[in-house]
Structure formats: structure tokens, C-alpha cells
Structure 1
Amino acid sequence: MKLNGNEIRPGNVIQHKGALWVAVKVQSVKPGKGGAFAQVELKDIVSGTKLNERFRAAETVEKVRLEQKDYQFLYAQGDMLVFMDNESYEQLELPIEFVGDRADFLQDGMNVTVESHEGKPLGISLPQFVTLAVAETEPVVKGQTAANSFKPAILENGIKVMVPPFVGQDEKIVVDTNEITYSKRAD
């Protein structure tokens, strides 16, 4: 699908200079002299490099639609993570680096969404919140209120987060996988 240069919006994925780019910031500029243009900050989906580009209204770019498919995490095998397509039951193996530091949040049976273009996986999104048990933290101190003081805790998956003083060892908490922060106590 073709887009005019002035129709690019943040979040759009476009084909530009032989690569796939996501528009991060878009600013319309109307200089006193010459025609208006869109100043667009682009981020390469594969490598993560950034690029600032000017697009005039008359220029066209190719907007790309990424396919999103739901997968279920099965298990880790060496340096690879194995996922199963929820519809066809086909398995997909991705390197741990593909998920990055959030790979520790993967739990057996967890549903994730894999974004791909022409059959090549480009990104993965985990559920925003996961429930984990606190494996190690300082003991609860009576009379200490839930003020702005936090203490370090190590979760069952080995990740360190800061938790309120009232959270004790073996308690289950909800963690935000995007920010890697404590969210609330689990019910």
C-alpha cells in the first residue's frame, strides 16, 4: 500500500532503502521558503539503527503490514526457544537473543505474539504482566509502611526487581515485563 510522505504516522512500518523501518517520531515542517515536508525518525526493525529522513508530500513510500500470529511457548532447548503455532500446531524455533532479556519471563504454555514479514520473524511480544514468586528478599519488618522505600528481591526466574517492604519471601507478585518492575501483589 502506497503512502504519501505527509501521511506517515508513528508506528507505521515502511519499506525504505531496501529495509523495513518503523516510524518513531513524525513532525510536519512548513518552512517559510519551499514546500512542506515530514521530518520522520525511523528505526530499522532488524538492526535497531535509527535514521532521520525528510519526505515531501509528493513522495510515496510503501507501507508494510506485519503478520501477527499467536504462538505458545513450549520449552528452551540449548540456545533456542521452541514455540507452537496455536492454529496449525507447527513448531517455530527462535534464538534466545531474538527475545532478549525478557526471555527469562517465558513460562511453559505462555501465549506470545510473533510479528513477521514474508515468513521471517521480526519481533515478539510477551504478555504485559506475569505472576512470579519471590525467591529471595529481606524479611518483612513490622511497623514499616509502604512508603516510597523499596527493597531488592530475586524472583524465581533469577530476575532482580525492587519490591515494597511488605512483600516477603515465597509471595507471588505481578511483574510488568516491559518495564521489568513490580506491579502489585498477586491475588
Structure 2
Amino acid sequence: MAKISTSDFRNGLNILVDGEIYTIVEFQHVKPGKGPAFVRTKLKGVENEKNIDKTFRSGENVESIRVEHQPYQFLYADGDMFFFMHQETYEQIPLERSRVENEKFVTDGMICTLVIDVDNDNVLYAVPPDQIEAEVIDTDPGVKGDTAQGGSKPATITGGAVVQVPLFISKGENIRVDTRTGDYLERAKSK
């Protein structure tokens, strides 16, 4: 693990704080008129899911955690375990459900990103792609006259997630969804 200064902070950097790994979500260098400068940060726990605010003295050294983002294919879920396979080595990795972000959007065969702590060879968490294409498997039928300007209705997509879609979307249609927010984006283009 490498020591870095607060001047090297950037969003997305993983650091060790009180023995836990946190990702820097936001940071701000503050130079008050009186007293020493400091860095105010918002941190998100990688393993513990806690969100904390922490202030560091300007120039203070912290330990940086090296992580790699590797593509793995989701194979199946068995109870509270999700199983992923590396595309080149065919190595299979089990991961607890709680360490799979937005797991309701993960479907069989999907290529997800596994974030791995390089120093300890430990899988921290898995993330589905930011945008996915999914089939609407259940929703109320559309009615003639429903427009894109109107309201929305709930729709269940493959994988079991429920998203709000425009009234004109029907069962069996493919749509694009943002997995970070759970928002409907658009109808999927025909292939």
C-alpha cells in the first residue's frame, strides 16, 4: 500500500481510514483566513457501505488502496451467493449478495465489473453495467391515446427489478435502463 498526500486526492480514489477501505466521493481543499488549510471529504465505505464525512489536515499522508476493475460474467445465484466467471481464465468467483451493487439488475450472462483489492487479492464488490437493455416481462397494458408526455406506470423487467416506464410501453418490449438510478431511458433500438 502506498502513502499519498491529501494533495493527490481525486474522486474515485480508494483509501484506508481506520482499517476500512473508503472511496472518495467528493473532496474540497479549504484554506480558511485563519489557521491551517485542510481537506474536507465525503467517503463511501467499500465493504461496510457507510457514508462518512472526514476532514484531513492539508499535506497529511494516508494509505492508498490499489484496485483493479475486471470484467466477469455473471453465471448464476445460489441462495445469498452470486457466481461470476473470468472471461479468459474461466476462474469462478463466489460473492455474497450484499457485495453486488444493484443486484436486482444483474441477469444471467451479463458482464459485470468486479473491483479487486490488488494488494490482498480480495474481491471488494461487483457492479453491473451503467446501462442495460432488458425485456419488460410484466406491466399494465398500454391504452390507445397514451403518449410520451403523460404519466408513468411500474414495469417488471428481466431480473425482477421494477422501474417506472411511460404509459405507452407494453409487455414484451425491450427498454434501456440506468442501473445506477433505476430510471427508464428509452425503448431499445431494434436489431
Question: Do these two structures clear the TM 0.5 threshold for a shared fold by scoring above it?
Answer: yes
Deviation above 3 Å: which 4+ runs of structure 1? none
Cα distance in structure 1, aligned partners of 2:22 and 2:156: 37
Q: How many equivalent residue pairs? A: 186
Match of 2:42 in 1: 41
The structure-2 alpha-carbon separation of the partners of 1:69 and 1:156, relative to structure 1 and needing over 3 Å to count, comes to closer
CA separation in 2, counterparts of 1:29 and 1:89? 48
Secondary structure of 2:47's partner?
Answer: coil
What's 2:109 paired with? 109
* Paired residues of 1:6 and 1:37 also in contact (CA < 8 A): no
What is the match of residue 145 of structure 2?
Answer: 143
Which stretches in structure 1 are left out of the alignment for 5+ residues?
Answer: none
Tell which deviates more after alignment, 122-131 or 45-54: 45-54
SS in 1 for 2:15: strand
1:71 Cα deviation after fit: 0.9
| 1: CA distance, partners of 2:141 / 2:59 | 65
C-alpha distance in 1, partners of 2:51/2:144? 50
Any conservation in 1 of the 2:47–2:99 contact (CA below 8 Å)? no
Alignment of 1:40-79 (within 5 A): 40-79=41-80
Change in 2 beyond 3 A, CA 1:157/1:4 = closer
Contact 1:6 1:55 in 2 (8 A): no
Give the aligned partner of residue 157 of structure 1.
159
Conserved in 1, the CA contact under 8 Å of 2:82 and 2:96?
yes
CA distance in 1, matches of 2:87, 2:111: 9
Matched, 1:128 2:130: yes
| Structure 1 residue 114, shift from structure 2 partner | 0.4
Farther off after superposition, 81-90 or 143-152: 143-152
The one-letter code sitting in structure 2 at the alignment partner of 1:141 is V
CA contact (8 A) 1:133 1:173 kept: yes
Distance across 1 between alignment mates of 2:54 and 2:11: 13
2:115 and 2:125 in contact (8 A); partners too = yes
RMSD: 1.9
- The gaps in structure 2 that reach 5 residues or longer are none
Structure 1 length-normalised TM? 0.88
- Distance in 1, Cα, partners of 2:104 & 2:55: 39
